[in-house]
Structure 1
Amino acid sequence: MVTPSPRLAVTVGQYSTAGAKEANQDFHGLLVPEGEALATKGIALALADGISTSALGAAAAETAVKSFLMDYYATSEAWSVRTSAERVITATNSWMHAQNLRGRGSNLTDEERERGMVCTLSTLVIKSRSAYVFHVGDGRIARIAGRTLEPLTEPHRVYLGGGESYLARALGIDRRVEIDHRKIPVAEGDLFVLTSDGVHDVLPDSAFLVAAGSEDLDSAARALADAALAAGSTDNLTIQLLRIDSLPQNDLDDLVGEEATLPPALQLTGGQAFEGYAIQRELHAGHRSHVYLARDSETGQRVAIKVPSTEHGADPVEVRRLMLEEWIARRVNNTHVLKAPPARASRQHAYSVTEFVEGATLEQWAASREVTDLVALRSIVKQVASGLHALHRLEILHRDLRPANVIVDGEGTARIIDFGSALVAGLDELAPRDDDMFAGTMQFTAPEIWLGAPASRKSDLWSLGSVAYYMLTRSLPYGPHLSAVRTRAAQKKLHYIPATELNPDVPDWMDAAIARAVAIDPEERYDELSEFTYDLAHPNTALTGPAPRPWLARRPERLWQTISALLAIALAVSLATRESGGGTEQKVSPSRLEETAR
């Protein structure tokens, strides 16, 4: 019997009241999703406080909270919490600011700001084993662990003295908003406290520590509001309490659900029926996986089925990552990225299914070209860059881009395949991967990875530049031993091998673009994929082409040829000299020897 993995579970209590004021301009909310979203997005709380001098303060607070809770869960599961939250909050601020500017020109006076849609916002997301805090204004988020209360935010107020202050940062005030963010590890039993300033400004920490010991958090939240009112608070009072009851194990079980416990599919054979698919033939056999061409028995669609190799079939981590390849393929909508068909009914084994693309790998495509076709090369590189851009927009790094992982079909359409090494920011928050150094193929992995640096968009760009170089030269930009150079000082001694040395059909300006894409220092590379693809097709006079290498570096074989020739000449001279000396040597006849003896 398989014991289910622990999941993220919390207990929550909330309470809000106008307090001593006539109207309550605070607003708060909570969303606890079910299923996969609980793992990929986590649990979110939000608390907003509308500016009391504005009739639109309450509307602003409600808009901020509802927008965050609805739009955060509408962002891609592949995005990190920070990317999702900050984009949602930024968009809300932009909308509110635009509403405030309607009919008022491009700037707001202080008085108009106070009358407009302006509010504070404090949000908390609990995902996997971490808490993510996003904060604008003078609300507060604190954590109670044991008998210690730790504030996780600071009030964005400017104090003038004499008890006077004003709000320095809030949603709706300016076109841009600065958001404080923080990520902290959590433990079971931790209690998070979100409060509006009418509560924490008047209550001591001891009051919150007492509330932390309550089993009924709703009652505890109400008790805190009552205590704040009794302590003389003149503001609205809102409290949210969240206690961590259980945490997942920092793996991908919550994401793949019951399929994580399925036995891995065994190696298949042509003609075999397998879970609603008719296996036709094997497409690829590697040390990590086997790929088969199959036909969906229900729809007739041809698909590719990947199963773990025999040696990796018992490794649950490898099985989960194989299944996540399909998860990635289903979420990237781009012509140049391999797709996955719609999910089917529950499976009996662990495997991945993607569309089948009939064509040649870029490695095969390049080998079949006897003449350099710069137009076709630029087209393919641009298509692959489009696929990479689609991955990067979802915060996915491929990490193993190489000629064997790009398929070109009969119509010349290129598609990126094989996401076994891909790093997804949103999933890395569930189960962090630290395998950058071993993720990709050695020849096409960026040099900084071998120094222990994390993968980045620029390391994917380096791989794309190396692929372009390979297509032109069937070689590598720094030779075959780059991965063996493991110090920064040694890397700085490396020299780019100009593609023009190996292929005279390559224009110098095109070579310069590739050289920049594969620069050893990531800071010297292009910032955007589109910049690289543009310079591949348009001469960029701002780029300096790669410097010609010394003669011996360009033609090292000539050194050995010269040495060999010199040795051969020296040997010939030595032999000739010896033979010449032997011809003048005097010889004594036997009769002369006899005379000498007498």
Structure 2
Amino acid sequence: MTNDSQLKISYGQAFIAPDKNSVRSTMSVKIPEGSALAAKGIAAVVADSTWRNVIAKQAAETCTRGFLADYYATPDNWDVKTSATKVLSALNSWLFSQGKNVANGNYISSFSAVVLKGRQGHLFHMGDTLVFRLRGGEFEQVSREHTNFMGGYRYPSRALGLDPSVDIDYHQFNLKQGDIFLFTTQAAKGTLVASDYVQLIRQYAADLNQACDQILHTACEKASARGYSSTHFCFQLARVDLLPDEQGESIADAFGALPVPNDMNVGEELDGYRIEEVLNKSAMSCIYRVRDKHTGRQMVLKAPAPQLAMRKDFIRQFIMQQWVVERVNSPYVAKIVDASRPRNSLYYLREYVDGRTLTEWIAQNPNTDLRRMIDLIEQMVKAIRALHRRDILCQGLHPDNILVDQMGMIKLIDFASCAVPGAVDLPSPLVIAKMVGFSSYTAPEYRLSREPNANADQFSLAAIAYWMLTGQKVYVDQMDSLHSRADISRLEYMPSFQYNPMIPVWLDGALRRALQPNPELRYRRLSEFIYDLKKPNPHYIKETQMPLAERSPLVFWKGLSGVLLLLLLLSLMH
């Protein structure tokens, strides 16, 4: 099901070059589908190199292909300006470094891109490529030419690959339905004037490819009549045919409005998927092991609980689960499976993992050695880091949401609490966490209504590690008493080696730091945490040799108070 209010455009192109080795300009338009259209928009670009050789072609093609590939690979919570400027800066650095190794030529290219997202347009420009906009009867140049004159020739004063850093012109503007953007290069200067463009575009508006062909033909004729070179022309038109509605197009809208399926039992079917096992039914979701009737493949189907059909906030969050996690590629995170057929109900599919939950695995392997436990914890770290690399917070870490497969590999399987901080179309991480609910592994900052960061996942991971190694939950029965920041300082950490004497003091030091109630005192990176779990940190060994009053003031003063109270009672008795 598609959304009729999605942004839609038409475009056309035409170019001429004497041969493929002398092409110096390239152009392209990318129109993504589904959630990517809402998250990133549509991009139209043109690039033009300063040289007429094979290197020039490579420079221009690298700019267009590299920008389009990398822009759509940036995190979806980045805004258009952040995504494009970071990509262009990286592209400029690469082109500049390559140009230093070229004797006859360079990797310098002018570049212009217009990104259309929602009801906004974003122009990114450097060099002397040309972008015009036709709106009604007004035809204006929206790009500013960066040029210098040297020895009677015109050269770009700004371009990709020209300097180690690049100064990018950025302009944001409102879109109107019917806006037409024309992309071309300096070669067209001196041939057509504004009235020529307007006349030809309006005359052939029904077919923009034909309009570009006619513009090219007319430009070649006028160039020949004036004695100009007519062998390096390119023209690209992009027209806004439909704008999303005023409130803007959200990522959730891209998935369409599908009904929530009813409760299903073994033997029933949904869109050709046969229910073979009911894995879980809760107040929030129904999870089934299914088999595709057409391919025989086993998968897991997750749908919202039927009673939530009218709860728009829960439905919206459910839709986001698939959108968020399908961007993660890790062997330690269960993969989202694309539906092979159109969906008639709201659900998503993920790969089926033959394994046991971590809770079950620990119960069945009570005497697992320390090294094997650390290996499982390290795999969990890799799963969480894969999410963090895509700017996703897990938030819902729990032993029941982690599977250990038949090969002993960890798989993260539940994404109900996943959130993307800063995403315009998503609720905040704190809102999502409260919606789903807290557990005994949830970081304390959530209970104080403080917006979490990646360190919150570190706490949950360390809390699971503590439970795996000791059989106990950290800060047990203390979390419910958190009502203010002052309460955090009263959380009392019980050393893990008091429950399990096989745990060395340096390993407990790593756990204690990752489980700090104050998130600012935890590890800066998960890689540091797992490093300290695997290799003794001299700092933690030294800590154990410090006086108790310095090592743990709270325990020291509690112990001292207890001794003094006992002495007082004894004195009163005598």
1:123 is paired with a residue of what secondary structure?
strand
SS at match of 1:442: coil
Q: Deviations over 1:337-372 (max 9, x none)?
A: 113455232233222232333444334445666568
C-alpha spacing 1:46/1:348, structure 2 compared with 1 (3 Å): closer
C-alpha separation in 2, matches of 1:200 and 1:526? 57
| Residues in 1 aligned to 2:176 and 2:99: alpha-carbon distance in whole angstroms | 43
SS of 1:407's partner is strand
8 Å CA contact 1:120, 1:139 repeated in 2? yes
Determine the structure 2 residue equivalent to 1:173.
162
Q: How many residues align?
A: 543
Q: Secondary structure at the match of 2:457?
A: helix
1-structure distance, mates of 2:140, 2:571: 84
Partner of 1:514: 511
Counterpart of 1:375, as a letter, is R
| 1:71 aligned partner | 69
User: 1:442 aligned to 430, 438, 445, which one?
Assistant: 438
Segment drifting more, 90-99 vs 120-129: 90-99
Distance 1:545 1:285 in 2: 47
Residue in 2 aligned with 1:589? none
Residue of structure 1 aligned with 2:419, choices 419, 423, 430? 423
Distance 2:134 2:507 in 1: 59
**How far apart are 1:502 and its partner, in Å?**
4.8
1:142 Cα offset (Å):
8.7
Could you tell me whether the CA contact under 8 Å between 2:92 and 2:166 is conserved in 1? no
Say which is worse superposed, 296-305 or 39-48, in terms of deviation: 296-305
Root-mean-square deviation (CA, aligned residues, Å) is 5.5
Contact 1:271 1:279 (C-alpha < 8 Å) held by counterparts? yes
Q: Give the deviation of 1:75 after TM superposition.
A: 4.0
CA drift of 1:312 comes to 1.0
2:343 corresponds to which of 347, 357, 374: 347
8 A Cα contact 1:290 1:306, kept in partner: yes
C-alpha contact 2:30 2:43 (8 A) present in aligned 1:
yes
Matched, 1:100 2:96: no
> In the TM superposition, what whole-angstrom CA distance separates every residue of 1:35-70 from its partner, at most 9, and x where no partner exists?
665445531111223236x75685256324542466
Distance 1:509 1:167 in 2: 60
What SS does the aligned partner of 2:339 have?
coil
For the 8 Å contact 1:357–1:409, the answer to whether it is kept is yes
| 1:50-199 aligned within 5 A | 50-51=49-50, 58-59=56-57, 62-68=60-66, 71-72=69-70, 75=73, 85=84, 89=88, 92-93=91-92, 96-97=95-96, 99-102=98-101, 115-137=105-127, 169-173=158-162, 177-178=165-166, 180=168, 186-189=174-177, 191=179
The offset of 1:386, in angstroms, is 1.6
- TM superposition shift of 1:387: 1.7
Cα distance in 2 for residues equivalent to 1:516 and 1:361: 27
Contact 1:266 1:310 in 2 (8 A): yes
- Matched letter for residue 433 of structure 1: L
Deviation, 1:383, is 0.7
Which one of the candidate residues 465, 470, 494 is aligned to 1:468? 465
Change (3 A) 1:64 1:192: farther
Partner of 2:547: none
CA distance in 2, matches of 1:191, 1:494: 62
| Secondary structure at the counterpart of residue 468 of structure 2 | helix
Q: What letter is aligned with 1:409?
A: D
Does structure 1 retain, via aligned residues, the 8 Å contact 2:260–2:345? Answer: yes
Separation in 2, partners of 1:452, 1:178: 41
* Kept after mapping to 1: 8 A contact 2:260/2:306: no
Give the unaligned 5+ runs of structure 1.
Answer: 105-111, 574-598
Range with bigger deviation, 366-375 or 329-338 = 366-375
Q: CA deviation at 1:537?
A: 0.3
Tell me by how many angstroms 1:126 deviates. 2.1
Please give the alpha-carbon distance, in whole angstroms, between the structure 2 residues aligned to 1:523 and 1:352: 37
Q: Please state if 1:385 is matched with 2:376.
A: no
* Counterpart among 531, 536, 540 of residue 534 in structure 1: 531
- Aligned with 1:309 (options 301, 305, 309): 305
* Amino acid corresponding to residue 6 of structure 2 in structure 1: R
Q: 1:354 to 1:26 in 2, by over 3 A?
A: closer
Q: Is the 1:252–1:320 Cα contact (8 Å) retained in structure 2?
A: no
> What is the rounded CA distance, in whole Å, between the counterparts of 2:134 and 2:448 in structure 1?
40
Larger Rg: 1
Give the whole-Å Cα distance in 1 for the aligned partners of 2:448 and 2:135: 38
**Residue 286 in 1 paired to residue 282 in 2?**
yes
Provide the rounded CA distance (Å) in 2 between the counterparts of 1:151 and 1:458.
Answer: 48
Task: Give the equivalent residue in structure 2 for 1:590.
Answer: none
For 2:184 and 2:481, locate their aligned partners in 1 and report how far apart those are by CA, in whole Å. 54
Question: By how many angstroms is 1:541 displaced?
Answer: 3.0
Change (3 A) 1:8 1:375: same
Measured at CA, do residues 380 and 9 of structure 1 come closer, stay the same or move farther in structure 2, by a change above 3 Å?
Answer: same
From 416, 419, 425, the counterpart of 1:432: 425
Contact 1:378 / 1:537 at 8 angstroms: preserved in 2?
yes
SS of the equivalent of 2:379 reads helix
Give the Cα separation in 2 of the matches to 1:308 and 1:90.
42
- In structure 2, relative to structure 1, the CA distance for the partners of 1:17 and 1:335 (3 Å cut) is closer
Tell me, yes or no, if the aligned pair for 1:132 and 1:181 is still in contact at 8 Å.
no
**Letter matched to residue 63 of structure 1:** E
- Of the candidates 245, 258, 270, which is equivalent to residue 266 of structure 2? 270
Cross-structure match for 1:356: 352
Name the CA distance, whole Å, in 2 between partners of 1:46 and 1:567. Answer: 84
Q: Report the secondary structure of 1:461's partner residue.
A: helix
- Give CA deviations for 1:53-95 in whole Å, capped at 9, x if unaligned: x756852563245424663587489685678756764665466
> In the aligned structure 1, how far is the partner of 2:427 from the partner of 2:97?
43
The aligned counterpart of 1:31 is: 30
SS of structure 1 residue aligned to 2:28? strand
Equivalent position SS for 2:527? helix
Change (3 A) 1:514 1:349: same
The yes-or-no answer on 1:6 pairing with 2:9 is no
SS at structure 2 position matched to 1:261: coil
- CA apart distance, 1:472: 3.5
Native 8 Å contact 1:191 1:241 kept in 2: no
TM-aligned CA distance change 1:422 to 1:98, over 3 Å: same
How far residue 469 of structure 1 moved from its aligned partner, in angstroms, is: 3.1
Check conservation: 1:526, 1:532, Cα contact below 8 A: yes
CA shift digits 1:515-572 (9 cap, x unpaired): 443456656544443332122101233568596433558969x9799979989998x9
CA contact (8 A) 1:437 1:450 kept: no
Residue 479 of structure 2: aligned partner? 481
Which amino acid is the alignment partner of residue 114 of structure 2?
A: L
